[in-house]
Structure 1
């Protein structure tokens, strides 16, 4: 076994760090292992839960608690270590449905990868080794006990050992846990100690329900494209459940084979292929009696013919359940309130004596919904995470596309209150006085802002970067990645009895820094951090200086970041501490220029060879385009981690250019919608526009030797470039490319291409196959259930039929994530050597 790395080891110099990068990236899961993640403020905010593995090569994550004691001292408490709970935690067999959920959420870890916590923040549940576990946190927050949860046999085995435990969720009052098997809902009542728990099925599909019917699970389109992974929701009073049921039997059947092992049968699944049929989704309200059995149920009623997508379900304390439903074209939606007060339950009393309640939606009484409002757009509507939501003391907050200012803004009861120019990305919490949100005024920075209902704003981050937070009670957990440091950081902050975010302060929590703001680097006409919005929009008060000085490594970062921070109290009375981080960094700092290019003012990042590279100061360098370039994702962001791989490529002898063109988010609704029904040509045109402008920013750019590479949409764009622009792009590596958009899912594809089959043909690559005259490598995992390998095979078949030479690199057993470390490492090397040969480059 290779020697384990430690977080202090960064290599003797940059050259060796670059040489080690492919192996190190693969072994550390892109440098994420050992870092804290999935942090959530709980209870009164003086506590926060998070996950972390023990080191930079350890995949098995444990559950941890960050807490402040009464004196403001900070502690990190290990709540549950899978290896302590189970001797074979490293060899856990994960149910297929859970593996699918992890693929949808791009989860690459093992051990405890998710958890559920009650409203008080005292009880946490999770699964490991096919068992359900409960962690009970002590009142002082300094210790905890963990035990198996549910009915157990005398030998310690599960009573329901044959049932898969999927998405276990604790009730708000902490007394019960519900989970789904995919076909049945099961309830666990938490006893005082092991052996005193109850566990029994409470809701099941009716007899004879087909194998394509699911209960309590998010359907594929919701999990993959709407970022909705839940399939059931507790009532705030813990006395009812809203449960999704879906019927996928009308969707096309797809088969995922393992050609390297022909003895293995193919996996069969339903897939919502574009221009075909979606799953039929419904929602049932199940009322629970005092013992937790279902004593009645009714079916939530809305116009499913007109609005077939169930995008959001939210059930807040003191409120009726809130739904957001979308039509098939996603250019119209409705916000609905479920009128639970009128529920007339069809069912029986004393469900426990009769077994689980058999769900037959067709015979249940209907539960009406009330339309609270809706949205329309000529092209499409975006889903904003966290919305719609109720303000605690009244008012409905939602997002609105303001065409006059080209801004996605916040409204409360129909009144706009967030400033023009502040593009809402995510809503983190809706409070009594403000909304905490991730907002962009510069699309390269995901800023943390407090947006008051009176129109005021407060920008919390000191530096541009990727910021997010979790707020509960009077505490907040802030997560960030910037260009100033190779490491991200998670800080737990407690603001005291009033919970005022101003107590985050400037002198100890690393947020708004008055010294930095007064340094004169906050130009660009940016407004004060606490200033009210003006008519022209408001900018955050940091210096997003698009120069190389803005991205230099922060030498002030702590050398003992792996140690527990004892915490401190700042001058504003806030408590704060950074969570310990055991991850390793790549050992080098990217050499990046941020620029604006071409007539569209495209945001771009140019990565140059490092000073230690043999290509440093070269007069001519071949160009490598590394885009994603498609809707829904960005690559040109103030986050150092995004440019590590580009730096490796630069030190292999390329000038690396990454461009966010039209269609990418964060720059306004009009910019995003410019690709409607024409995303192939528009996104390609923007890459070519930036390429033509590159010599103005990097005179060493050799436009006679240009390659392109990317994954997923970036793979599509790479293949597209050599097919449609061979005079500009001379070689391509296309990973997992969706070459034929009729093979991709409904919710993503139809949002951008609509429902006209001729539009799909114009935006797909198959008909372009005869045009290939440049080297092209196609790469695809045979186990990819997101972008099917059929995409690559169809393009390869069309190229073969046209007599066009090309290379196909099949990845056996690999999904869309390519998490196998050997594959991930060798993939970089093979692509490099392919491009060297294709461009006629001799390695130095």
Structure 2
């Protein structure tokens, strides 16, 4: 009797352990942060190259500190700033140093505006004297310390101001700024979103001049958005938003001389309807670099402006049959020669040009892409970069000398490696993950790549996941429409190739994007595992138009967005549907933003292939989207109406047979809810049944509180009920 009881107890224990390893994922856990990885704080590499600084809160006192740590040991070296010893500032959220690190710009009370822009209260802390003062009583934008640390420039109410700490003198450099009319020193909405920058001014190396852009957006059409809130009446947000084919802001360039108290407009040449996506002072304090691009974005001039004579000269020109990508990789060496990245040989590579613009040499070359440029070490004339040389779904860190010799692969593990180098490039922090390894952070030698010490890992997360039925991604390539396409697949546990499984496809598919990567899980990946636990096979395919396989592959969709990409997803669905273990009558697809545009088209254009689709925050007509992004790939609607209309889901609603869920946030300043409303009206007029949901006052990300949980619960139920 005792033996039987013991056997029964052991059996129960084994059963509990086994079931624990088969634990199912839940949406509450996924969106509650249960599987979130530990990360590193954003750090600043100190100029000595041996230390880095981070913001920390003192647990005992509650003070906010900037602490300096040793790279080599990871031990705290000193406290640079503590609010415990500052009477006028109790907290701050961010910081930046002057070049000599004697002054620190501290930000607090930050208020988000759009995706990249914010305004806030800023203080200057003087390290030697430990003194502090507020830059302005009002919330300002994009403050920037001068290279000598004695001045600061910032934007307030669309005007640029300069404050001299030594003299105490404040100068207002512009006075015509006005909301929805004139902007000085910061970008308009479309530049911020599509050229990825906000601060539109820069200090010269000698701290005596400020170059800035001025946007005249008076003729740009306005877009208005209701923000409902909780008050009796809703509010209306009105901002300038140039939709494809409409007028852009007129941009002009100025150089202000602080000593001479002058501000001069620079005539760049005979350009019409153009963009200035970057300005940057060179190593020479009198030479400003300006990038000017035509509206089609297939012709780029790098111009050098002499601040003394105001003369402008084109030193480099790039042309492309499709478009040219804008980057922040331009780096000036001491002799004013410069490092530049380009796709002109068909793949993104690094080039070295003389100060006059002539090509000195192509630094990297091969049938692979440089994916990140980390910087240049002038001491040993070495460039550091990331590339996909080891397979387009992987990322590795490399070094190469300026003459293109002595290339070294510094990263050791296969997967996704990223780097944060010390100021002198002697050391770097390696950020590594792959599909089976959550983020690992190590300190590595900048010459050899050898690990100096481990900083942090996520083994605790792996131990937690050991209790769950983790469904791994299986990477492969499939031949679709003449191309080898990267794909991953997640299968249910105890997969039986003799059974039939429903297939659920995810994709994004936007130009230059990549969804199939050998990297650790994001929140959505746990959702896919959850679906696999419930009997679905989930796949993702990167079709034509996606990135990191060369310019030809990426730009194949030019002037015809939503055609070849849709064909690839349809063909992939048919390929998978032809496999013995896929139920071809139960194939669904979903996507967000560009992916929602795609999933809508797939369902409408291939009603016999897809049983259902979900589209979240989709573009439904590129006529509704902004000039810079849309015209880069389609030209204007006036020039290419066919490219806009032949692939608009709005024009293909009659093809809907399956089940369709349409979701949008009402306060989406990026992909306006207008897109969904127009598609809804078309579906109604075609008498098509569908489901839809609007999330009040939510932007393109549709998040906040329980919003994501609610959204994914809705999508999960829709899949279970219709696939």
TM-score, length-normalised on structure 2? 0.84
CA distance in 2, matches of 1:810, 1:61: 42
1:131 is aligned to 121
Structure 1 residues 121 and 445: alpha-carbon distance in aligned structure 2, compared to 1, 3 A threshold: farther
2:620 is aligned to 739
Pairwise CA distance, 1:288: 1.6
1:103 is aligned to none
Match of residue 508, structure 1, among 449, 452, 469 = 452
**Gapped runs of 5+ residues in structure 2?**
1-18, 110-119, 354-358
Does the residue aligned with 2:557 lie in a helix, a strand or coil? coil
CA distance in 2, matches of 1:84, 1:584: 44
Pairwise CA distance, 1:470: 4.0
2:113 is aligned to none
Structure 1 residues 805 and 315: alpha-carbon distance in aligned structure 2, compared to 1, 3 A threshold: same
Contact 1:586 1:644 in 2 (8 A): no
With 712-721 and 652-661 compared, the bigger mean Cα shift is at: 652-661
Pairwise CA distance, 1:133: 2.9
With 45-54 and 252-261 compared, the bigger mean Cα shift is at: 45-54
Pairwise CA distance, 1:254: 0.3
Pairwise CA distance, 1:264: 1.9
2:396 is aligned to 447
The reply to whether residue 275 of structure 1 matches residue 245 of structure 2 is: yes
2:262 is aligned to 296
> How does 1:372-391 map onto structure 2 within 5 Å?
372-387=315-330, 389-391=331-333
Structure 1 residues 115 and 392: alpha-carbon distance in aligned structure 2, compared to 1, 3 A threshold: same
CA distance in 1, matches of 2:85, 2:21: 38
> How does 1:105-124 map onto structure 2 within 5 Å?
112=93, 114-124=94-104
Structure 1 residues 838 and 587: alpha-carbon distance in aligned structure 2, compared to 1, 3 A threshold: closer
Match of residue 599, structure 2, among 707, 718, 733 = 718
> How does 1:373-522 map onto structure 2 within 5 Å?
373-387=316-330, 389-403=331-345, 406-413=346-353, 414=359, 415-432=361-378, 433-441=381-389, 442-456=391-405, 457-463=407-413, 464-483=415-434, 487-491=438-442, 501-502=446-447, 504-508=448-452
Q: Which has the higher strand share?
A: 2
CA distance in 2, matches of 1:84, 1:487: 39
2:544 is aligned to 662
Structure 1 residues 305 and 125: alpha-carbon distance in aligned structure 2, compared to 1, 3 A threshold: same
Does the residue aligned with 2:297 lie in a helix, a strand or coil? coil
Pairwise CA distance, 1:732: 0.9
Structure 1 residues 230 and 481: alpha-carbon distance in aligned structure 2, compared to 1, 3 A threshold: farther
Structure 1 residues 745 and 490: alpha-carbon distance in aligned structure 2, compared to 1, 3 A threshold: farther
Does the residue aligned with 2:486 lie in a helix, a strand or coil? strand
Pairwise CA distance, 1:87: 12
The reply to whether residue 336 of structure 1 matches residue 217 of structure 2 is: no
CA distance in 2, matches of 1:586, 1:438: 35
CA distance in 2, matches of 1:268, 1:653: 47
CA distance in 2, matches of 1:78, 1:604: 48
Pairwise CA distance, 1:663: 0.9
CA distance in 2, matches of 1:711, 1:150: 42
1:597 is aligned to 478
Contact 2:589 2:610 in 1 (8 A): yes
Contact 1:116 1:124 in 2 (8 A): yes
CA distance in 2, matches of 1:733, 1:73: 47
The reply to whether residue 650 of structure 1 matches residue 532 of structure 2 is: yes
Pairwise CA distance, 1:601: 0.8
Does the residue aligned with 1:221 lie in a helix, a strand or coil? helix
CA distance in 1, matches of 2:39, 2:546: 28
CA distance in 2, matches of 1:805, 1:586: 42
The reply to whether residue 258 of structure 1 matches residue 227 of structure 2 is: yes
CA distance in 2, matches of 1:87, 1:607: 55
Contact 2:22 2:467 in 1 (8 A): no
2:13 is aligned to none
Structure 1 residues 381 and 585: alpha-carbon distance in aligned structure 2, compared to 1, 3 A threshold: farther
The reply to whether residue 18 of structure 1 matches residue 32 of structure 2 is: no
Does the residue aligned with 2:261 lie in a helix, a strand or coil? strand
CA distance in 2, matches of 1:453, 1:127: 38
The reply to whether residue 206 of structure 1 matches residue 181 of structure 2 is: no
2:194 is aligned to 225
Structure 1 residues 254 and 27: alpha-carbon distance in aligned structure 2, compared to 1, 3 A threshold: same
2:663 is aligned to 779
> How does 1:804-843 map onto structure 2 within 5 Å?
804-839=688-723
CA distance in 2, matches of 1:717, 1:45: 47
1:165 is aligned to 140
CA distance in 1, matches of 2:209, 2:602: 53
> How does 1:675-754 map onto structure 2 within 5 Å?
675-694=557-576, 699-754=580-635
The reply to whether residue 237 of structure 1 matches residue 206 of structure 2 is: yes
2:292 is aligned to 325
Contact 1:43 1:122 in 2 (8 A): no
Aligned length: 673
With 754-763 and 824-833 compared, the bigger mean Cα shift is at: 754-763
CA distance in 1, matches of 2:470, 2:130: 42
1:540 is aligned to none
Structure 1 residues 87 and 764: alpha-carbon distance in aligned structure 2, compared to 1, 3 A threshold: farther
CA distance in 2, matches of 1:165, 1:333: 32
Pairwise CA distance, 1:190: 4.3
Does the residue aligned with 2:721 lie in a helix, a strand or coil? helix
1:632 is aligned to 512
Q: For 1:9-67, what per-residue CA distance to the aligned partner results, in whole angstroms no more than 9, with x for missing partners?
A: xxx94655612xx33443449836x6324434241322334567999xxxx99775453
CA distance in 2, matches of 1:410, 1:225: 23
2:156 is aligned to 181
Structure 1 residues 560 and 592: alpha-carbon distance in aligned structure 2, compared to 1, 3 A threshold: closer
Pairwise CA distance, 1:830: 0.6
CA distance in 1, matches of 2:591, 2:290: 37
1:149 is aligned to 133
CA distance in 1, matches of 2:454, 2:575: 37
Query: Per chain length, whose mean CA-contact separation is higher, i.e. which structure has more relative contact order (CA < 8 Å, sep 6+)?
Result: 1
Structure 1 residues 233 and 116: alpha-carbon distance in aligned structure 2, compared to 1, 3 A threshold: farther
Contact 1:61 1:82 in 2 (8 A): yes
Structure 1 residues 626 and 89: alpha-carbon distance in aligned structure 2, compared to 1, 3 A threshold: farther
> How does 1:537-548 map onto structure 2 within 5 Å?
none
TM-score, length-normalised on structure 1? 0.73
CA distance in 1, matches of 2:543, 2:63: 37
